[in-house]
Amino acid sequence: MESAKLDAIDCKILEVLQRDGRISNVDLAAEVQLSAPQCFRRVRALEERGVVRGYRALVQPAALDLGVTAFVSVNIAAEAFERVRDIEGLLRDQPEVLEIHTVSGDCDYLLKVVARDLRSLSQLLTDRLMQIKGVADVRSMVCLEEVKAPAALPVR
């Protein structure tokens, strides 16, 4: 899917596109000191190689009435190990569950979830996640403050 190395200009392009995903090709070309067609070809190559996986608008959760963000750790009961893939599917189907990672350490899964308020968060956890057969333990860490908003990947 990729493998070919990125040179300094590719890195610069990625840096800019992570900062402003809607920049026009000519402005981007100017920033990275390339002619527009050159720049265009590079961007397309990065997209085709899967280096750039897409473009997203960042939406303020509060505007969508999602006042609560939380990280939720989930464990799977030993008896349910054979059904993990199903359980993953059920977790993934919840729209409020934004990310799911399997992690090393005390818990099996770490989820990032959003909810309208603490009451809906609680509902999500107890009425939906904990109802999934095989889910043994659900613990949540409610986000109180965002000290650093999701930053761009370091390009170095």
Which residues make up the interface to a copy of itself (CB under 8 A)? Answer: 2, 6, 11, 14, 17-22, 49-66, 69-71, 88, 91-92, 95-107, 109-112, 114, 139-156
Nearer residue to DNA within complex by CB, 43 or 121: 43
Give Cα separations from 95 to 61, 88, 92, 98, 114 (angstroms): 13, 13, 8, 7, 9
* CB 103, min distance to a copy of itself, A: 4
Q: Work out whether 34 is an interface residue with DNA (CB under 7 A).
A: yes
**Residue 151 main-chain phi, psi, to 5 deg:** -100, 165
| End-to-end CA separation in angstroms for the chain | 22
Task: Count how many residues are written for the chain.
Answer: 156
Q: Which of 26, 45, 103, 152 binds DNA (CB under 7 A)?
A: 26
Beta bridge partners of 49: none
Residues 87/46, Cβ–Cβ less than 8 Å: no
Q: Which of 7, 20, 35, 86 binds DNA (CB under 7 A)?
A: 35
Whole-angstrom Cα distance, residue 117 to residue 81? 32
Q: Work out whether 46 is an interface residue with DNA (CB under 7 A).
A: no
Among a copy of itself, DNA, none, partner that 21 touches (CB below 5 to 8 angstroms by kind): a copy of itself
Nearer residue to DNA within complex by CB, 41 or 101: 41
Residues 32/16, Cβ–Cβ less than 8 Å: yes
Whole-angstrom Cα distance, residue 5 to residue 112? 32
Q: Which of 40, 46, 73, 84 binds DNA (CB under 7 A)?
A: 40
The binding site for DNA (CB under 7 A) comprises 24-27, 34-38, 40-41
